[in-house]
Structure 1
């Protein structure tokens, strides 16, 4: 047994194989050269070598060992032919060393590639995932992708596959199925176009690794900024959606998440470029928010993210509250910074009418009410959303006040200055009378803010002052005489009376606040006094307060 295993080979730092030097050197020119160099360097009979970049790792070397120990024979299948081929190229297993060389056997097997079934091509392509670079450098990946595209073209309208579609569907999930060609009658049932809204090949191709999908788009000349095809864009969105669901089913470490972003980043950019190319005529506002949620987890570049946000921001008046509730990436529950950026884009967009601004204003007030309970929402972020819209976007500020009230209720530890600062986004003149009264009674609102709100509501809250009977008579006489100067003086007197009434009401509010504080202090002292002095036998009830 020692004669058969006289040499050690460490593969990719993962596993050590004890092999016979002569047997492996018979079929591999590279191994023969490496082993000979190692013998000369160490001059030790029992030595070993390390190979750190072997295709497929230990699995690939195990297949090679079986081939060598089996006198140059191994069962070749669609699932292992790619790995065997790459290993044969890597180790130089050519006909120069043996007539039963592995490279020739795999090439013969691959010659029938275009006669394979659709399923066999997918299985072979998927097996290249762990050694994609070797498959690409050897030219094998190009052959497999070419066979894949040939199958799609054979059972589809190739013009709709490569060229940009003229479809105007607004859903990100929809995509026109391919029109069968004349050879469709001979197509197996498993690959016939279905009645689904997606193209028939979407789900099948979605099982391939991201590097192979990237190579597929490069082969079509539709990668990155070259993607002008709607059908390919829809496939990428479907692929990223499936990949996101697949990621959610596994627990990923931070390093795995970084690697995932690196692998999918180029595909995410390609998808977004295709969306920007077709514009808002093809994708609705809701569909664009769906796209944003999908691609955000795949390392989308800053350039394409800004382009997608500009597209969404220009359609903000078509959004719903659910669209805006995008999960936050920091400590916050929602991505408030995103909404602030979208509002700014919308306000700066050309041709935004006042009507659209008001629609957006009502939407943003609902959004403020939804995010207000978030304990990690800072006042600056709240104000950033509320103040991003111009004053003309709101006919009424009742919605903004409701959101402030919810925020104050959810953040009871705010200081007096912070509560005053929070209320600066309100236009008191655009508050309804009912909201203004509620604000004035709200104990969480600073008194100065309540005073300003009441003053701004002067014409709404000041009741008409009845005039004395004699004054009314005199007024009628003056009108009868038609004296213009007297009429002006009476109008001035009316304004003065209204001002005096408003001042009396303001002072009354202040006096009531003082009285309320005094009553609370008296009650607390009485309760403490009774707890200390009262006994069970001489207990006296507290006086009833009216």
Structure 2
């Protein structure tokens, strides 16, 4: 058996089973020699595909059961129009009938075997007849070589269904699968990874041309993906049947689909060949291959994460996009959607489907958006908490992209938001950005719709940066802005409470003398022992000094909180004043521009000062001793401004 790795170039293409003109010259010489030897002229006329052959009766009826019956009533025989191999194959068969040695090779043996079967050149009509000679060459020569088997299988494409009935295709398929398994199991290869490094495409968009370059990494794969799909699919099934692992089989399927389904260069090549109806014919070819490819892929794998290591989710997105463009059946699309849903947590938002031409087709009514919604719905239906927050984040990022469509209605956008359950969103930062993008694209949206959209946002799940943006955002309702302010206040209150408990625990330890050593560890700069003196400072005296210092700094913190309370009260009073038309404003966007800037700037200053109080937790941690009063003030402030 030939070594597949050692071969430097693929076998020559089998464009014609008979590219050697020698059989024609040999047949003329043999007939001329027969006439000289017997003195009998050629008395039989055989026509094949419009070409006539003047032959002798005796050689034909001695080797062919077909001619033995056909020449009883007439000396002229016209073979069937679909005679396998055409005139070239008949010339070879006639040459064999005259007793000459045949120049068999992988390019003509399959056609000769089919022609011999039709002419009934079997053992019943002579020992060592053409059928047996062709089979012997196939088994002992062709099927022992990868290149020869590949050539024979390619020539069988024009000899169907007879090549299938004579098991030529089956023998070639099994032989190629066996040799491919031996290539993988070769200990010299030491394969510990998938055949092709498809993992590199898990973090970037699928690029068909870049993927095609990787197909030449293993020559046996490059040969297989050049076969017609009916032969390729049978080899893939044979590989799995013979025990090849899926991490070696699936990449072969991926690269076949990449070449014949996803590559635009292949489509252009087909369009040039098909002539007038090039677009329709090309789409039909691609559709047929894509539907069959889906059946070969391990879509229903029990371990999707392991399957993703072999076949990246970006490939399934590329197939799904092609299926939508070709208007394939719902069954094919549903299968691909289930596969994408299983691997959705491994995808990137750049992989999500969007219309290629947004001018001709609006995003809100596109099949791509509907398909993505169905995929997320399928994923949510799994009811698995694992990776739920990742899927929610991806969906919110996707909504940021589609929210800019000016024709996307409020109800439709709300429906898209609620595709992912609220509990699955660990943070609402991306949801806020999506709603902000939607409000920017719909400046005439009424206040009720704005409030309805923003009700989906939980300020408690917004980060500090997102809260600052919400306060400055002129499109946000006043309710959301105040909620964002109070959420930050609650964070500050919680920080002060923690500081108070820590300080109270430290004071109790001073007077009881039971402070653990781990709690009372001091930094070097505050060591109770003066590095300049040999007399140590008692630990209790040092803690009392720090306690007195903390009392002073606590008073400063208390005054800062009072100032914040007064400023927030003034801010609320100003915002609740009636406008010139006698209506109470509930959205900062309804005020005049000068007023908007004044209130937002004041809100931002208050918000930043409150956040600085929260950030001062580490400094206040040993200073606060009476957080009860501050907690009461914060609680009353929450009740006063509760929206």
Fold shared, TM-score > 0.5 on shorter chain: yes
1:77 to partner: Cα distance: 1.2
1:364 and 2:413 are equivalent in the alignment: no
- Please state how far the C-alpha of 1:75 moved relative to its aligned partner: 2.8
- Distance in 2 (CA, whole Å) between partners of 1:423 and 1:289 is 37
Q: Is the 8 A contact 1:276 1:307 kept in 2?
A: no
The alignment covers a number of residue pairs equal to: 419
Q: Partner of 1:201: helix, strand, or coil?
A: helix
State the 1:4 CA deviation.
9.0
Q: Which moved more, 1:125-134 or 1:373-382?
A: 373-382
Q: How far does the alpha carbon of each residue in 1:432-478 deviate from its partner, in whole angstroms, 9 at most, with x for none? A: 564476454xxxxxxxxx7xx2355455699xxxxxxxxxxxxxxxx
SS at match of 1:19: strand
Taking the aligned partners of 2:415 and 2:331, their CA distance within structure 1 comes to: 23
- What corresponds to 2:543 in structure 1? none
1:488 match: none
In structure 1, distance between residues paired with 2:66 and 2:405: 64
Cα 1:147–1:427 shift into 2, 3 Å: same
> What displacement does 1:115 show?
7.1
Residue 116 to residue 361, structure 1, CA distance change in 2 (3 Å): closer
Q: Which residue is equivalent to 2:503?
A: none
Match of 2:228 among 204, 209, 213: 209
Tell me how far apart the structure 2 counterparts of residues 50 and 377 of structure 1 sit (CA, whole Å): 64
5+ residue gaps, structure 2, are 1-41, 201-213, 272-277, 460-466, 487-568, 594-643
Indicate how the Cα distance of structure 1 residues 157 and 380 shifts in structure 2: closer, same or farther if over 3 A, else same.
farther
Cα separation, partners in 2 of 1:75 and 1:323, compared to 1, 3 Å: same
Shift of 1:364: 2.4
2:92 and 2:64 mapped to 1: Cα distance?
A: 11
Determine which of 272, 283, 297 is the counterpart of 1:271. Answer: 297
Q: CA RMSD in A?
A: 5.2
1:429 to 1:267, Cα distance in 2 relative to 1, 3 A: closer
1:518 aligns to what? none
Work out whether 1:136 is the aligned partner of 2:212.
Answer: no
Q: Given the alignment of the two structures, is residue 232 of structure 1 paired with residue 253 of structure 2, yes or no?
A: no
| 2:577 matches 1:501 | yes
Q: Deviations over 1:304-324 (max 9, x none)?
A: 764554454345344222222
- Where relative contact order (Cα < 8 A, 6+ residues apart) is larger, the structure is 2
C-alpha displacement at 1:270, in angstroms? 2.2
- Residues 64, 119 of structure 2: 8 Å contact kept: yes
If you compute each CA radius of gyration, which structure gives the higher value, 1 or 2? 2
The 5 Å alignment of 1:104-503 reads 104-113=132-141, 116-157=144-185, 172=198, 201-220=220-239, 222=241, 229-244=246-261, 245=263, 247-250=266-269, 251=271, 253-263=279-289, 265-273=291-299, 276-284=301-309, 287-294=312-319, 297=322, 306=334, 309-325=337-353, 335-352=368-385, 356-372=387-403, 384-392=415-423, 393=425, 394-396=427-429, 397-405=431-439, 407-408=441-442, 425-427=453-455, 430=458, 432=467, 434-435=469-470, 438-440=473-475, 453-458=477-482, 500-501=576-577, 503=583
TM-score (norm 2): 0.51
* Equivalent-residue separation in structure 2 for 1:292 and 1:236 (angstroms): 15
- Answer with 117-126 or 290-299: which moved more: 290-299
Q: CA 1:203/1:110 → structure 2, altered by over 3 Å: closer, same or farther?
A: same
Is the contact between residue 196 and residue 217 of structure 2 (CA under 8 Å) also seen in structure 1? no
| C-alpha separation in 2, matches of 1:309 and 1:405 | 31
Query: Is contact 1:340-1:384 (8 Å) kept?
Result: no
Moved more, 28-37 or 388-397: 28-37
